[in-house]
Amino acid sequence: MKLDIKAIRYLSSEDWRVLQAVEQGSKNHELVPTPLIQHLAGLRGGSGVHKCISALAKVGLIAKVKNAKYDGYRLTYGGLDYLALNTHRKANSIYSLGNQIGIGKESDIYITASPEGRRLVLKLHRLGRISFRSVKNNRDYLRHRNTGSWMFLSRLSAQKEHAFMCVLHREGFPVPEPVAWSRHTVVMEFIDSFPLRMIESVPDPGKMYGELMDMIVALAQRGLIHGDFNEFNILVKEETVGDKVTLKPILIDFPQTVSTNHANAQMYFDRDVACIRRYFERRFKYTSDEPGPFFADAIKGVTSEMRLDIEVEASGFSKKMAKELDRYVEVAGGDQEEAEAAHGADDDEVDGEEGEEDEDDQEAEHEVAEEDVQGDPQVDDLKLAEQLGS
């Protein structure tokens, strides 16, 4: 799904109000009836609202839906994108939008800039865009969701990511600085880096391996398990101190983070550890002599004051919200599983299920590919502030 902001400059303030009305109405209605849109927009005179509705539908920000009882409209992802961009623009979080630098399994990543010209990243969460290959047994659960419920999950995902990034960044973990959150989007610091997946060799694999394992343990000591800790979600940044260049791993991608109190916490912890262990063996031919780290050791002596999972829950990302997302994450799997499903199992493993595809796979828009990430992200001189006419 492309983020196309061409139409953004042509929207009038009434159009924005109507778009917001459709969003508001969507909370309780799968399709929002026209009289409700009119009511929520608070605009006088029916013809004005109709004009706005057709303008919005024409550029694909809302879509007309018919059901047995009445016709109505629903918000599209394009409409949701516009609403989020507008909020970021008004809050001065984003001033301009550049090119797309990544297509995650369930996100689109764009380079953007702040009004001061600081390079930032806009992550648009797009749950529901998934390869059905990795979820064969659960496709009914996925298929029976409508667009609105995917949007709802995408919002939850962005809210969760932002909440966890805030506490992690504050506590000095190497994560991008979160800047803002609106709906299904998060704005964050741009990390000039390459994913670990793209790094051919590192001068001292043992050192980086140790740092990554320490990070997994440090997270557990604050009550958290990343849950998708692998070569796709670790960005490697070069840092020059004096004439020495060091490689610093930065952790990203937090929608599947779980509490160390989660029923399957041990499994998630062990899986994160195993991912790194296996990757270093395969890629860098590095095997650590030390066993572990082990979950039981990692959470020893952790008190509730230390726990960031409790803090995040108290700050608004509730247990109920977490549960809703958990179910999806369990079904959808992480980057690692997706990549392996897409490429077939890597080198030393038996070749996977290539050729066993069915029709559903053709719906899958995404495959994690190294080419998805471009080297030098450009911020186009596209001024959102001007485009929106304010």
Between 190 and 328, whose beta carbon lies closer to ligand ADP? 190
Q: Tell me which of 100, 335, 364, 384 binds ligand ADP, using CB under 6 A.
A: 335
Cβ proximity to ligand ADP: between 106 and 272 the closer is: 106
- Token pair, residue 99, equals 């090119």
- Among the listed ranges 24-32, 102-110, 199-207, 297-305, the one in contact with ligand ADP (CB under 6 A) is 102-110
> What is the maximum span of the chain, computed from C-alpha positions, in angstroms?
75
Q: Are 108 and 157 in contact (CB under 8 A)?
A: no
Scanning residues 331 to 390, which ones bind Mg ion (CB under 5 A)?
335
Q: Which of 11, 109, 156, 388 contacts ligand ADP by CB under 6 A?
A: 109
Q: Catalytic amino acids?
A: 228
CB-based contact 226:272 (threshold 8 Å): yes
Q: Are 87 and 183 in contact (CB under 8 A)?
A: yes
| CB-nearer residue toward ligand ADP: 3 or 65 | 3
Exactly one of 78, 98, 174, 195 binds ligand ADP (CB under 6 A); that residue is 195
Q: What is the dihedral of CA 64, 66, 71, 73, to 10 degrees?
A: -30
Does position 175 interact with ligand ADP (CB under 6 A)? The reply is no
Single-letter amino acid, residue 268: Y
- Binding residue (CB under 6 A) for ligand ADP from 190, 209, 269, 284: 190
Question: Which listed option, ligand ADP, Mg ion, none, makes contact with residue 270 (CB within 5 to 8 Å by class)?
Answer: none
Candidate segments 190-198, 201-209, 237-245, 322-330, binder of ligand ADP by CB under 6 A: 190-198
Out of 230, 233, 256, 259, the residue judged to bind Mg ion by CB under 5 A: 233
Site for Mg ion in 136-155 (CB under 5 A): none
Instruction: Choose one: 39-47, 83-91, 186-194, 303-311; the region binding ligand ADP (CB under 6 A).
Output: 186-194
* Binding residue for ligand ADP, selected from 61, 191, 247, 379, defined by CB under 6 A: 191
Is residue 73 involved in binding ligand ADP (CB under 6 A)?
no
Reported as half-sphere exposure (CB side, CA atoms, 13 A), residue 350 has a value of 1
Interface residue with ligand ADP among 88, 105, 133, 162 (CB under 6 A) is 105
Q: Which stretch binds Mg ion (CB under 5 A): 96-104, 112-120, 129-137, 315-323?
A: 96-104
- Give the binding site for Mg ion (CB under 5 A): 104, 232-233, 253, 335
- Give the binding site for ligand ADP (CB under 6 A): 101-102, 104-107, 109, 121, 123, 176, 188-191, 195, 232-233, 235, 252-253, 335, 373
